[in-house]
Amino acid sequence: AGCDVAATGERTARAAGVACGRAKTSDIVDAVVVVTAMRLGAPVVTDDPTDLRHLADALGAPLVLRAP
């Protein structure tokens, strides 16, 4: 087990900006997490899924959220 750190390039940053616009939020960090997880097909471990789910729903894409 472990944690992979993914680089945030322009493509991810732009997609996160689109996510924020669609979700009507300014939480760019959560948006980067959502976009990165979707691109990698990876689950997100969080104890506060509300904002992440809102962003994923705004993009109309599936996102697997898991409790710690």
Structure-token match 């109309």, residue found: 60
CA distance 35 to 61: 10
pLDDT per position as a tens digit, 2-49: 777 888 999 999 999 999 999 999 999 999 999 999 999 999 999 999
**pLDDT tens column, 47-64:** 999 999 999 999 998 999
In this predicted structure, the answer to whether residue 1 has a pLDDT above a threshold of 70 is no
On whether the CB atoms of residues 68 and 47 are closer than 8 A, the answer is: yes
Q: H-type helices in 1-68, by residue range?
A: 10-23, 28-40, 50-59
Tokens matching residue 50: 């509300």
Residue 67: name the closest of 50, 49, 52 by CA.
Answer: 49
Q: What is the pLDDT of residue 4?
A: 78
